[in-house]
Structure 1
Amino acid sequence: MIALLLALGSSVAYGCADFLGGLGARKAHVLRTVLIAAPASLAVELLLWPVLGASFSAGALAWGAASGVASAVAFALLYKALAIGPMNVLSPVTALVSAALPVGVGLLQGERLGLAGLLGLPLALVAVVLVSAGHGAGSARPSRTALLTALGAGTAIALQLICLHQAPSDSGVAPLIIGRAVASAVTLTAAGLLRRRLGTERPAYAMSAAAGVLDSLANLMFLLAARSGDLAVVAVITALYPVGTVLLARGVLAERIYRGQLIGLGAAAVAVGLLALP
């Protein structure tokens, strides 16, 4: 139950972070947004170090660094996809990919689910698909570039989560700190190489920083959930984060929620209930 609650908290934080990051990336080049978000995330994790501890073993360093590279790619691709829009299609696409890969890894590593889990896990994946199918035959469909960007973002997110899960369980927040430091370094390097293409627009500083803080908290809750529960279950619950993005897009941007998305929201609630059962 603790793992389930942490995964739900991670899902909510990821959804809010994605919305703010995507919105911020509409005001300036995506790398300018990430340049604000990544250091803000690192600051949060450094503040958590004295509280939760950190052990910088070889495993923590290696898996943390790998997660950082994946995180940097995920940040840039996801915020770019959400900036292109529409948010309430592209966010669920990334979520489906980011859930499917960790679920496969968890099952390959020998995780076993009870009857409720066997029903809840595919239902949760179906819920993500339903939420993403909201536009039906409407005119607001994502471009090919936007869709490919979203698929790439989902793969990068999945690799980040898998790497965090593989880090030693006694390493505290060390994988997060290393990962975020590497992600910040990668982002700074990319920004330096592409500085002439970044434009002159100023990023939404507060919005970008808030996205980074929320992303850091989401990573922390995922890490704690994965250490106390099955990766397959934790990953698929965390992947329900588009629910938050879609609801925020509805409330702030007036993006319509379609019937299929409403069914998906209901399916998500049922899936979470099933996964909560022993």
Structure 2
Amino acid sequence: MIALLLALGSSLAYGCADFLGGLGARKAHVLRTVMVAAPASLAFELLMWPVLGASFAPSALGWGAASGVASAAAFALLYKTLAIGPMNVLSPMTALVSAALPVAVGLAQGDRLGLAGLLGLPLALVAVVLVSAGHGAGSSRPSRGALLMALGAGAAIALQLVCLHQAPSDSGVAPLIVGRAVSSAVTLAAAATLRGRLGPEKPAYAVSAAAGVLDSLANLLFLLAVRDGDLAVVAVITALYPAGTVLLARSVLAERIHKGQLVGLGTAAVAVSLLALT
């Protein structure tokens, strides 16, 4: 039950981070937003060091660095995918892959589920797709390149989560600190390379920083969850993060929730209830 609650917290934090990051990216180039979010994220994780400890053993360094590279790749692929579109097809596909691959890894590594879990997992995967889908699905067909990029983005997100799970359980927040340092360095290097294309607009500093802190909080809660529970269950609950984004968009921006997303939210509630029984 503790792992379930931590995973739900991680999902909510990811959803809030994506919402705030999207707001920040409306005011300036997304890389300018990341240039504010990245140091805020790293600062939060460094503050957690005295609280939760950190052991920088070689395995923690290796898996943390790998998660950072995967995180940077996920960021680049995801935004390129959504820029190509159509979002209403590619976004659910990315979310589904990011959930399904860690589930497969967890089951392959020995996660064992009861009947409730076996029913809850596929329901949760369906909920991920429904909640993250937009209006008018099927209105246009994505290109083969866009499909491959969406699969790559989902795989990179999944790889980040799997790498964090593989880090030693006694390493504290070391994998997060290393991963964030690596992903920040890669992203900031990209921003420096593309500085001529970033435009003069200044980012929303407070919103961007809050997005970075929430993203780090989500990573931390996920890490604590997989140390206490099964990767298969934790990953699929964490992947429900679009629900948080959708609900925030509804309450803050008055965006409409369409019928498919409402069905997805209900399906997610049923799935989480079943997984709580495992």
After TM superposition, the score normalised by the length of structure 2 is 0.91
Assess if the C-alpha contact under 8 Å between 1:11 and 1:241 holds in 2.
yes
Q: What is the deviation of 1:137?
A: 5.5
Aligned residues: 277
Tell me the distance in 2 between the aligned counterparts of 1:149 and 1:21: 21
Q: Which residue of 2 aligns with 1:25?
A: 25
Map Cα deviations across residues 35-69 of structure 1 (whole Å, 9 max, x no partner). Answer: 11111110000000001000000000000001011
Assess if the C-alpha contact under 8 Å between 2:105 and 2:232 holds in 1.
yes
Assess if the C-alpha contact under 8 Å between 2:89 and 2:138 holds in 1.
no
Assess if the C-alpha contact under 8 Å between 2:87 and 2:134 holds in 1.
no
- Residue 57 of structure 2 aligns with an amino acid whose one-letter code is S
Matches of residues 26-175 of structure 1 in structure 2 within 5 Å?
Answer: 26-78=26-78, 92-136=92-136, 150-175=150-175
Assess if the C-alpha contact under 8 Å between 2:45 and 2:177 holds in 1.
yes
Q: Aligned-pair RMSD on alpha carbons?
A: 2.4
Q: Which residue of 2 aligns with 1:235?
A: 235
Q: 1:107 to 1:264 in 2, by over 3 A?
A: same
Tell me the distance in 1 between the aligned counterparts of 2:147 and 2:208: 23
Q: What is the deviation of 1:106?
A: 0.8
SS in 1 for 2:97: helix
Q: 1:244 to 1:74 in 2, by over 3 A?
A: same
Assess if the C-alpha contact under 8 Å between 1:22 and 1:81 holds in 2.
no
Q: Which runs of 5+ in 1 are unaligned?
A: none
- Residue 72 of structure 2 aligns with an amino acid whose one-letter code is A
Assess if the C-alpha contact under 8 Å between 2:29 and 2:198 holds in 1.
yes
Assess if the C-alpha contact under 8 Å between 2:89 and 2:142 holds in 1.
no
Tell me the distance in 2 between the aligned counterparts of 1:84 and 1:167: 34
Percent identity over the alignment is 84
Q: Which residue of 2 aligns with 1:189?
A: 189
Of 146-155 and 121-130, the range deviating more from structure 2? 146-155
Q: Which residue of 1 aligns with 2:261?
A: 261
Tell me the distance in 2 between the aligned counterparts of 1:136 and 1:204: 31
Assess if the C-alpha contact under 8 Å between 1:88 and 1:245 holds in 2.
no
Tell me the distance in 1 between the aligned counterparts of 2:135 and 2:164: 34
Q: What is the deviation of 1:31?
A: 1.2
Q: 1:89 to 1:152 in 2, by over 3 A?
A: same
Map Cα deviations across residues 119-154 of structure 1 (whole Å, 9 max, x no partner). Answer: 000000011122234524697x79768776654432
Of 263-272 and 147-156, the range deviating more from structure 2? 147-156
Tell me the distance in 2 between the aligned counterparts of 1:89 and 1:253: 23
Q: Which residue of 2 aligns with 1:204?
A: 204
Of 214-223 and 93-102, the range deviating more from structure 2? 93-102
- Residue 109 of structure 1 aligns with an amino acid whose one-letter code is Q
Map Cα deviations across residues 219-277 of structure 1 (whole Å, 9 max, x no partner). Answer: 00000000111100000000010001111222233332111111111010000000000
SS in 2 for 1:168: coil
After TM superposition, the score normalised by the length of structure 1 is 0.91
Assess if the C-alpha contact under 8 Å between 1:65 and 1:175 holds in 2.
yes
Q: Which residue of 2 aligns with 1:220?
A: 220
Assess if the C-alpha contact under 8 Å between 2:111 and 2:232 holds in 1.
yes
Tell me the distance in 1 between the aligned counterparts of 2:170 and 2:197: 42
Tell me the distance in 1 between the aligned counterparts of 2:26 and 2:8: 28
